[in-house]
Chains A and B, each alone.
Chain A
Amino acid sequence: MLKNDPILSIQSLKRDFKMGDETVHALRGVSFDIHRGEFVTIMGTSGSGKSTMLNILGCMDKPTSGHYILDGEHTEKLSRDALARIRNQKIGFVFQSYNLLSRTTALENVELPLLYNSKVSAEERHRRAVKALEMVGLSERMNHLPNQMSGGQQQRVAIARALVNDPVIILADEATGNLDTRTSYEIMMIFQELHKQGKTIAFVTHEPDIATFSGRTVTLRDGLLKKDVINENVQDAKAALEALPPPETFDEEDA
């Protein structure tokens, strides 16, 4: 792994929104790099520009000015279809509200990104989806529907879906926002496990304790980069989970 080769690089990124006659400057020139194998949390209060940042990093939005280079591609120059291809092959999304297709099994939900990649055959799609579900510990529940699963399990399906296309970066948007502390820690455990296996992760959150599980924290405020610190003392999610009081009044199924 080449630490000096950034997998993701943004340079003086600006994003303006026109709201009637006013122009809102959501991002006012942000620059940072993310290297291969890093686990970065992007923090910020609401209105800090972190959602806008995530949308641009996820190739769902384009910057007004500045550069965004992902895995060697200058995304600001790409067409709508080319961006769709990048989202499909280089990015794995994990959302706050899971966004699984209802009345569709876990396995089919995980297969979904590969459906949009014509190079992947049906058998390979199935094989990779099964493997991704095994990685998040859901091999027993592959044929369950989302409404038959707890929030934590649904989010694990969503993580499997983000892994299945073997992306260069996993983007998580408040991925623990809808979950209780215990389940949040379980999810963070999975992210830390993926990080150990060499995945690059950018995790957007506003919860400071979640940030302690990552190796680096980028903080945004009012559309500018406020802090970019290396976390010397990375917490172990597994240990944190064990330190929690035993689940008496609630359990995982209540999430």
Chain B
Amino acid sequence: MSPISLIKVALKALFRNRMRTILSVLGIVIGVAAVITMVAMGEGSKQSIKNQMTSMGTNAIIIMPNQNRRGGVQMSADNSSEHLEEADVIALREQAQYINAVSPMISANGQAIVGNNNSPTQLSGISSDYLKIRNYEIEDGVMFDDDADRIAKVCVIGQTVVSNLFPDGNPIGKTIRYKSIPLKVIGTLKAKGSGDFGQDQDDVIFTPYQTVMKRFNATTEIRQIYANSIGEGYAEKATEEIMGILKERRSWTKPTDPFRIHTQEEMITMMTTTSDMLSLVLTAIAGISLLVGGIGIMNIMYVSVTERTKEIGLRMAIGARGRDILLQFLFESVAISLLGGLIGILLGIGASQAVKAILNWPMSVSITSVVVSFGVCFITGVFFGWYPARKASNLDPIEALRFE
């Protein structure tokens, strides 16, 4: 029998038992739609994590003093025996090969005040490299110069601060007061949105780090150093190199490391692993419903074969080979599953969009999940249709014709 005739015969038989076909198709539709939606949910959350991480700077590396341990009691980081200092920053800038930007980070807490407006924003003392590390961009004005503005009373502010303090207009050239010290606004940053743990990345005031050290905190100690590795995949090498340079400066011989170094890559890996696990579990549950749909097809195909025993007998009597009968029934089950797959994919995409629109949940329908679902449907049809079809093709024509 030619493939076209086979398809015609199969579709005709399915059309004849419309209700039954619709119900079997529904089983697959639900399964596939569930898989697509769950995968979209998993992918969506994974991507939103990635995006947030990227907005913070993909290659960022954070160096901070190690927490000291003494007799099993963990002391606070402030009590650490080793401090970071400006010379470390200079050493890293000059010696390290695997990083292309380095900046200290030292903060002060307080209120920023302009007239009647105030903003409870942390003051961050940094060098200009910090913008590169954390993916900040200047929107208006200029960034301060590391040498010329070494301890200048200038600042660059984020959009949240702009709207808090300058609701009426252009902040450039205006002065804000932070802990009674006036800081002249020389630049504003482009909006970035919220970062990974929900904090507002636009609620920032940047000022030269020496300004914070000398004028606000009166210290030579640097809390953290931010660095930027030269590219994705270099985080580990950069970490080793940084640790080596810092240890060498101190002639460090103790077995424990004096500093902790975190990389953004580590964070991304950790968080995507969690989200991978989640999507795996969701997909497995959805997969089970697809399996149940497949069993539904098998059930209906067995009923169909039994019901049409006489037809099978007749077809064999007039010359259908076992193969022809096998293919006829296999085409039916594959048609059911592919039809279910097609509708399921559309429904799954629709459901994903609906979840995105209504619940504001990050959803991402991947082409892979669509293609794989369709493939799985085809396999489901063949797999669950095979035994009923085999049963039909192995019927004895004499017995089948006698069947009532």
Report B310 CB to chain A, min CB distance, Å.
Answer: 7
A60-B398, A99-B401 in contact; A116/B322 too (CB < 8 A)?
no
Complex contacts, B292 vs chain A, CB 8 Å: none
Q: How far is the CA of A120 from the CA of B316 in the complex (A)?
A: 18
- Which among A55, A80, A93 is the interface contact of B318 at CB below 8 angstroms? A93
- Which among B12, B319, B398 is the interface contact of A116 at CB below 8 angstroms? B319
Q: How far is the CA of A93 from the CA of B315 in the complex (A)?
A: 11
Complex contacts, B303 vs chain A, CB 8 Å: none
Report B208 CB to chain A, min CB distance, Å.
Answer: 85
Complex contacts, B1 vs chain A, CB 8 Å: 115-116, 118
Is B314 positioned at the interface, with any CB of A under 8 Å from its CB? yes
- Which among B9, B311, B321 is the interface contact of A80 at CB below 8 angstroms? B321
Q: How far is the CA of A117 from the CA of B321 in the complex (A)?
A: 11
Complex contacts, B142 vs chain A, CB 8 Å: none
Looking at B310, B311, B317, the one whose CB has the most chain A CB atoms below 10 A away is B317
Complex contacts, A118 vs chain B, CB 8 Å: 1-2
A99-B401, A115-B5, A118-B2 in contact; A58/B322 too (CB < 8 A)?
no
Is B16 positioned at the interface, with any CB of A under 8 Å from its CB? yes
How many residue pairs, one in A and one in B, have C-beta atoms under 8 Å apart? Answer: 60
Residues of A90-104 at the interface with B, using a CB-CB cut-off of 8 Å, are 93, 95, 99, 101, 103-104
Would you call A81 and B321 a contact (CB within 8 A)? yes
Would you call A80 and B322 a contact (CB within 8 A)? yes
- Which among A55, A81, A93 is the interface contact of B323 at CB below 8 angstroms? A81
A103-B16, A115-B1 in contact; A89/B319 too (CB < 8 A)?
yes
Is B85 positioned at the interface, with any CB of A under 8 Å from its CB? no
Complex contacts, B316 vs chain A, CB 8 Å: 60, 84, 87
Number of interface residues of A (CB under 8 A): 25
Complex contacts, B347 vs chain A, CB 8 Å: none
- Which among B318, B398, B401 is the interface contact of A113 at CB below 8 angstroms? B318
Smallest CB-CB separation from B318: which chain A residue?
A: A113
Would you call A61 and B398 a contact (CB within 8 A)? yes
Residues of B389-404 at the interface with A, using a CB-CB cut-off of 8 Å, are 397-398, 401
Number of interface residues of B (CB under 8 A): 23
Residues of B299-334 at the interface with A, using a CB-CB cut-off of 8 Å, are 310-311, 313-324
Complex contacts, B318 vs chain A, CB 8 Å: 87-88, 93, 112-113, 116, 161, 165
Q: How far is the CA of A161 from the CA of B5 in the complex (A)?
A: 18
Residues of A70-126 at the interface with B, using a CB-CB cut-off of 8 Å, are 80-81, 84-85, 87-89, 93, 95, 99, 101, 103-104, 112-113, 115-118
Would you call A84 and B319 a contact (CB within 8 A)? yes
Residues of B1-28 at the interface with A, using a CB-CB cut-off of 8 Å, are 1-2, 5, 9, 12, 16
Chain A 42-58 interface mask (CB, 8 Å, partner B; 1/0): 00000000000001001
Q: How far is the CA of A55 from the CA of B401 in the complex (A)?
A: 11
A84-B319, A88-B319 in contact; A116/B324 too (CB < 8 A)?
yes
Complex contacts, B397 vs chain A, CB 8 Å: 60
Among all A-B residue pairs, the 8 with the closest Cβ atoms: A88-B319, A113-B318, A84-B321, A116-B319, A99-B314, A87-B319, A60-B397, A81-B321
A-B contact pairs, 15 of them (CB 8 A): A55-B398, A60-B316, A60-B317, A60-B398, A81-B321, A84-B316, A95-B401, A101-B314, A103-B16, A112-B318, A115-B9, A116-B315, A116-B318, A161-B318, A165-B319
